[in-house]
Structure 1
């Protein structure tokens, strides 16, 4: 039932976009952004990567969080409802708190997937090595930088060693974030295991 709605929405957006662009942005969004704000616009930009990574990561986060929520023991929810709590109170005070270690794990797994992603970033950002703070410009992540430049670097050169240093930085960042996530998850598990 959702597919016709999505198709109709896309068709409607394509039909209305020239009119909206003419009314709101003087006919050309890129020129308007450059004149009004001094912001350049690249077709492959950080905003596109954010949307693409959202589509890549959110289903995994959703499925893991859903499993965590549905693995809350039924006797906890029925007991809460039997003691006079409303369904909303049961959800916020019992179900979400009990499932919070699993939900946090799902978010951290999704974050780790997004940080380590290489090919989506390479294809959607234009592989721009020069970066600025605008979300309408391209970028290159550490993992993409290593993947692109490692075949080109000469063994034992300075460039080769810098790429290994970038890999070490990426590894250390991932290790620290995963360690902190595990500590937080264990604390949540201990805190809410008494429910």
Structure 2
């Protein structure tokens, strides 16, 4: 059994210093953060660079990039003190929001495409996304408003107890779901900025040539633009992954810092970076605990180095493959 237990209440204690739970927690936090951030950031980057009107792009892109300057300690503080209790008290609303929001956006897009052309032409080209703002606000309000009613109808008044008793799944207030939401918000600007620049840098001649040959804008985007920009998009994802792996303050403040090896979305975790930040001040210089903490920092460094190296090799292969387009 892999255990990290560096201290105990009694003196007759042998430390258990396995790095497996910490490595697992690091990858778990990064996985859930990327699960939220990657599709949102890449889709937003493609839409902003390819479909959005230039005037709207000049307003939207700086706002999203400005999010990158927000200190992660503030995000961690907000996630630990406000987001975690709110998610615990509105679990049905949070999950219904995550499920209904994509459906609502698709339904709104389909409805807009079926409107008479005289109505659709009134919307300036590239500003169609602004029509989604009331849809997103309405779906969010409806999901959170219906949360207590859904909890009473389907989960006996307490979804957390239903998860624990009926499903046998441990629920911690500060869990991987909260970390995924908070750290995903922190990673989105990194991925978005690099991916948007990659898509926007695709030569305009390729786009115009594809359209001149009869391809639709969607076909041009999927078969020409994305393939040409794929090295940059892949680099954006790898940089975002590296940011998520090395994040310290959000996982330090928004998790229970429990070094467990469970993929459970509702259970806490502890990462390598957070463990070094927590335990380094109290470790004895030159002791086994002190040396293992340095080893964990080295593991984190090697992991990011290997991941970035592989990402660069794959990016070079993609660039060579699609440079002939």
TM-score normalised by structure 2 residue count: 0.56
CA distance in 2, matches of 1:8, 1:190: 45
Gaps of 5+ in 2: 1-129
The alignment partner of 2:232 has SS state of helix
Q: Give 1:158 shift.
A: 0.2
CA distance in 2, matches of 1:103, 1:6: 26
Whether 2:291 is the aligned partner of 1:168: answer: no
Q: Give 1:82 shift.
A: 2.0
Whether 2:273 is the aligned partner of 1:155: answer: no
Equivalent position of 1:44 in the other structure: 174
The alignment partner of 2:252 has SS state of helix
Q: In the alignment, is the contact (CA less than 8 A) between 1:30 and 1:40 conserved in 2?
A: no
Structure 1 residues 61-140: aligned runs within 5 Å? 61-140=191-270
Equivalent position of 2:149 in the other structure: 19
Gaps of 5+ in 1: none
The alignment partner of 1:148 has SS state of helix
Q: 1:83 to 1:127 in 2, by over 3 A?
A: same
The alignment partner of 2:173 has SS state of coil
CA distance in 1, matches of 2:134, 2:294: 49
CA distance in 2, matches of 1:156, 1:33: 45
Per-residue displacement from partner, 1:28-85 (whole Å, max 9, x unpaired)? 1121112211112111001111111111112221221111111001111112222333
* Worse overlay, 148-157 or 6-15: 6-15
Q: In the alignment, is the contact (CA less than 8 A) between 1:131 and 1:137 conserved in 2?
A: no
CA RMSD of aligned residues (A): 2.0
Q: 1:76 to 1:15 in 2, by over 3 A?
A: closer
CA distance in 2, matches of 1:7, 1:187: 42
The alignment partner of 1:138 has SS state of coil
* Worse overlay, 88-97 or 173-182: 88-97
Quick one: higher RCO (CA 8 Å, sep 6+), 1 or 2?
Answer: 2
The alignment partner of 1:37 has SS state of coil
Q: Give 1:168 shift.
A: 1.1
Q: 1:154 to 1:64 in 2, by over 3 A?
A: same
The alignment partner of 1:40 has SS state of coil
CA distance in 2, matches of 1:144, 1:14: 32
Per-residue displacement from partner, 1:84-108 (whole Å, max 9, x unpaired)? 3332222122111110111111111
The alignment partner of 1:95 has SS state of helix
